[in-house]
Chains A and B, each alone.
Chain A
């Protein structure tokens, strides 16, 4: 594939994601990037060193600043929402973005942020800071976000997905700016040599849009997970549990392992109630139970390890009917 056709493919491959984002299509002219709308009309001429896939009608753009890039946010109506002045910006979600100020490392491992500070900006009021000074932050989901308030060496990566051509060859990268339903906290962390990710222990609390702490500030969590069906796993004193969107520890952090936590393996059962959520937990005895979003027992503790073999006669308690 020649360079011209490769770039044509890139333009096509960089089509945006959501309906709102359909009005912002990144395009490249020479080495510079800009945005067009769905009809091909230019919104921003090619002037940026990088441009992301759009999210919620917004695009992440970068300008060259010496040997570094400075990042800002532009909107589909042709306005610059945040001037390119941050060392990185990410996690566009629910009208907020996470902004980073600090070192951007460029090593054999890849491009990552570590040692600086993260905070949030409310895009409806970008002049007003919405909390700064965090070691790491998660995105706002259902009006709440996790923030880590203690220093770690966690390497926060730039989120990208490769662009492949029709033959499966990698010809570039998409910069990811938005947050999908399948977002995982692991998406943010630079994988190790084996492709795994490891969060160091931090001091995580849950905050609302106003920056109010929803979980106790004096007993933060060592590690936390993303919210699914209104529940997120948490780790405290080496034990796991779950909190809800109000910050209530509805399944206490007393278990040696819980569903979705690092090191857990998916089981055979899928208990999907009409409303709420069910998660499995493992206690000190190695027994597994399934608990609901209020901490109530759906299936009591059993030595069933969660995996059903095709040669098994499944215990009656495991069946819903």
Chain B
């Protein structure tokens, strides 16, 4: 059975490499980390509702699998700059680590049964449902499944974004004052002095105050699910069982199975096995938004918050190796990958090209360096939030082009990772 699973792992890894660029999305998904992000809001501050609505409208960064739980926002008073202790108490009190595991195995809250289909869909592209079902019939099969999901599950992260509004009343007042001066320009724009100037003075004052004043500071706390061999073994041995079917016979059999009921109760009572590791945090203020292409204030809030969060994610990736994304080469002639300015790609960046290697004994995957590449300065994709609406330079591209620093024999699907 173990050999079968090693073969499946190898097939899953090798397949996209051999199929070329059109299948690299599969490999990208295979190697994606999973992310649950939520925010801390401060109802005692101005603009809190607007910030929450903006955050809620943002998608999970596209280099990560969405591993969100239903609670996406928690509130706190804005007395303290550092809420690390409160956050960690909250995470522990609410069994967040266990809920992340529950999501990985699509636990049914009613029956307590698990379902490997998410693990499969995120990782086992070369395996069939039957393979997994067969594996689940034996202890070793389950172990093999654990091996299979090990890397993916251990690469599950939480980012807690503590977002505070930076009140720039003074700046806003300055911006409003400017409106009196711009009358001449506005008249030139409109050709109808009275209408537009009056409109600008009122509407402009309102919107520009908001824009000039709208800055957020975000402190992003990064945690990782502590999913190790010991935890995985314990989970599979003591808690894991497949969801019963929905038909009446299956449900009746399940209801009569006291062993499963005991497993369910034990899992629900367990508040110690599943843990999170604090990785680090990063704090920054948002940059001034470029308003080109924005339609309304909500767009501005979304852009400011979205860009600021992306920036913090990028900085956390630079600082902490385990959080770095590995993405596949999209093509080799020319060398291209679908990362860009959002991931911090600059003309000075360097990336190692990695080849996955499967340990035949453990079935786990490690990476060997095949070479080093760097971006071509004028071919860096601007994939930042709303960059295309802004018509930023590079936003018309769909990937960043690289050139070889060292190494050779790169193939589409090989993974790249930034090096310092």
Contacts and interface: CB of A to CB of B under 8 A. Distances in A.
Chain B interface: which size bin?
Answer: 35 or more
Interface stretch (A164-172, A199-207, A217-225): A164-172
B298 A267 contact: no
A212 B192 CA distance: 39
A267 B291 contact: no
Given A170-B178, A172-B189, A309-B74, A13 B292 contact: yes
Contacts of A271: 70
A69 B296 CA distance: 24
Contact of B185 (A108, A171, A309, A311): A171
Contacts of B49: 265-266
Nearest to B294: A161
A8 interface: no
Contact of A49 (B171, B191, B204, B211): B191
A49 to B, nearest CB: 4
B75 A307 contact: yes
Contact of B198 (A69, A111, A310, A311): A111
Given A171-B182, A172-B189, A182 B75 contact: no
B206 interface: yes
B295 A178 contact: yes
A128 B207 CA distance: 37
Contact of B71 (A17, A179, A268): A268
B56 A110 contact: no
B73 A267 contact: yes
Contact of B389 (A3, A17, A28, A265): A17
A276 B413 CA distance: 34
A173 B70 contact: no
B198 A106 contact: yes
For the complex, would chain B's binding face be called helix, strand, loop or mixed by DSSP majority? helix
A170 to B, nearest CB: 5
A163 interface: yes
A111 B69 CA distance: 45
Interface stretch (B86-94, B222-230, B241-249, B403-411): B86-94
A319 B99 contact: yes
Interface stretch (A115-123, A183-191, A247-255): A183-191
B299 A180 contact: yes
B175 A195 contact: no
B345 to A, nearest CB: 23
A168 B300 CA distance: 14
A233 to B, nearest CB: 15
A158 B76 CA distance: 38
Contacts of B171: 168
B203 interface: yes
Nearest to B104: A321
A312 B292 contact: no
Nearest to A53: B293
B203 A160 contact: yes
Contacts of B83: 310
B202 interface: yes
A12 to B, nearest CB: 8
B53 interface: yes
Given A170-B175, A183-B295, A195-B206, A108 B198 contact: yes
A108 B75 CA distance: 39
A161 B203 CA distance: 9
Given A106-B198, A269-B70, A49 B86 contact: no
A309 B187 CA distance: 50
Contacts of A312: 74, 90, 94
Contacts of A15: 292-293, 391
Which of A15, A106, A110, A171 has most B Cβ within 10 Å? Answer: A110
A153 interface: no
A148 interface: no
A314 B71 contact: yes
B94 to A, nearest CB: 5
Which of A31, A182, A269 is packed against the most chain B CB atoms within 10 Å?
Answer: A182
Contacts, number: 201
A4 to B, nearest CB: 11
Interface in B105-129: 106-107, 109
Interface residues of A, number: 72
B72 A173 contact: no
B358 interface: no
Query: Which of A49, A69, A160, A173: most chain B Cβ within 10 A?
Result: A173
B36 to A, nearest CB: 10
A189 B188 CA distance: 26
Contacts of A176: 295-296
B401 to A, nearest CB: 21
Given A17-B389, A172-B189, A182-B296, A270 B178 contact: no
Interface string A266-294: 11111110000000000000000000000
A160 B206 contact: no
Given A49-B191, A268-B74, A310-B86, A319 B69 contact: yes
Nearest to A306: B73
Given A10-B189, A309-B76, A321-B69, A184 B296 contact: yes
Nearest to A267: B73
B198 A321 contact: no
A167 B362 CA distance: 58
Given A110-B203, A310-B90, A168 B296 contact: no
Interface string B166-191: 00000100010011001011111111
B69 A3 contact: no
Interface in B43-80: 43, 49, 52-53, 56-57, 68-76
Interface in A298-321: 307-314, 316, 318-321
A77 interface: no
26 contacts: A17-B293, A64-B191, A69-B195, A110-B202, A161-B294, A161-B295, A162-B207, A168-B175, A168-B211, A172-B182, A172-B185, A173-B199, A176-B296, A180-B296, A182-B295, A187-B296, A266-B73, A268-B73, A270-B56, A270-B73, A310-B40, A310-B90, A311-B90, A313-B93, A321-B99, A321-B107
Given A64-B191, A320-B69, 13 more contacts: A13-B291, A13-B292, A15-B391, A28-B189, A111-B196, A164-B212, A169-B178, A170-B175, A172-B186, A182-B57, A269-B70, A269-B72, A320-B70
**Nearest 8 Cβ contacts at the A-B interface:** A49-B191, A110-B202, A111-B199, A270-B72, A321-B102, A180-B295, A320-B70, A266-B52
